[in-house]
Chain A
């Protein structure tokens, strides 16, 4: 089956419960993350190539719009792929590595590929970008200072409002991060986030980049705003703080 773009939580529940013995591939993406553009294509190509295999379901989920689903799976960065069967998570892939995706797919799909899905059609993905690095996605081991700076620049501008926090909004690992998430939600502000506990080079690099020793850190339009204290005070002084900060370019 080719890719099904999920439109609602109800549809998601229906499709995942319908045939639990199927291998379900969940692909989380957003419109603002650069690597997603490339991965969107890859996901579609791979799904199309497996179209004849009815034991596999390819579901595409916009992580921003269907935030409940992304929170359910604790998706902390995009693109993110989760393979599930019988309500058990078989594998999680963070980042945009087509080879890994295909390998995992072949590993878990019941129809072991006698016919190889031809991967040569897939364009190579640059591994610098917005994805986090965790054990799953191979990233060049030694990241040069320059490359890190580039990555930080991209990360801080990944969304109009970017929160660098400990943990994820659904599962914060620090009281201050939790409070800042609460403030953003209270003011119904859309924001992107990055879990610095999962990437030590960003954790240390961002401290220098922002000239700020602690987390959480809030960026608006690529400009550092401050941590919890400052955001709290700013909001106290001006209820429209976020709106104004977004407009000031």
Chain B
């Protein structure tokens, strides 16, 4: 059974897509997503950005898909699944904790 924790009762459309893509591709036993966009919306790097409400996410994901992969590879896997969000939807940053079920139960 998998646990999915979203950022709030009313997540935005981008978050919903992210949750859907991650669930489909990683079949995680645990997925938690938090929306940190408000912490960055006034930063210099976000000036002129059209998306300041769903731009920065923090994701914790536990999945067997990460077995045998080092951290850069795991992150790249997530990046490739969320490629559209990063390239076209204005998602600026993804903070990630990627673990396998085995690593979590230690």
Which chain A positions have C-beta within 8 A of B79? 212-213
With A174-B45, A229-B96 in contact, is A212–B76 under 8 Å at CB? yes
CB distance A226 to B93 under 8 Å?
no
**A197 close to B (CB within 8 Å):** yes
CB distance A175 to B71 under 8 Å?
no
CB distance A226 to B43 under 8 Å?
no
Tell me the residues in window 59-111 of chain A with beta carbons closer than 8 Å to chain B beta carbons: none
Shortest Cβ distance from residue B39 to the other chain A in the assembled complex, whole angstroms: 7
Tell me the residues in window 56-84 of chain B with beta carbons closer than 8 Å to chain A beta carbons: 71-72, 75-76, 79, 83
Grouping DSSP codes into helix (H, G, I), strand (E, B) and loop, the A interface class, with mixed when no group exceeds half, is mixed
Chain A residue with minimal CB distance to B43? A174
Size category, A interface? 20 to 34
Shortest Cβ distance from residue B68 to the other chain A in the assembled complex, whole angstroms: 17
Contact of B43 among A173, A228, A229, A234 (CB under 8 A): A173
Interchain pairs with CB closer than 8 A, number: 46
Chain B residue with minimal CB distance to A234? B71
Chain B residue with minimal CB distance to A211? B76
Shortest Cβ distance from residue A210 to the other chain B in the assembled complex, whole angstroms: 9
CB distance A175 to B72 under 8 Å?
no
Shortest Cβ distance from residue A202 to the other chain B in the assembled complex, whole angstroms: 16
CB distance B45 to A166 under 8 Å?
yes
CB distance A197 to B95 under 8 Å?
no
Contact of B86 among A197, A213, A234 (CB under 8 A): A213
**A242 close to B (CB within 8 Å):** no
Which chain A positions have C-beta within 8 A of B86? 213-214
- The residues of B with any CB-CB pair to A shorter than 8 Å are 39-40, 43-45, 71-72, 75-76, 79, 83, 86-87, 92-97
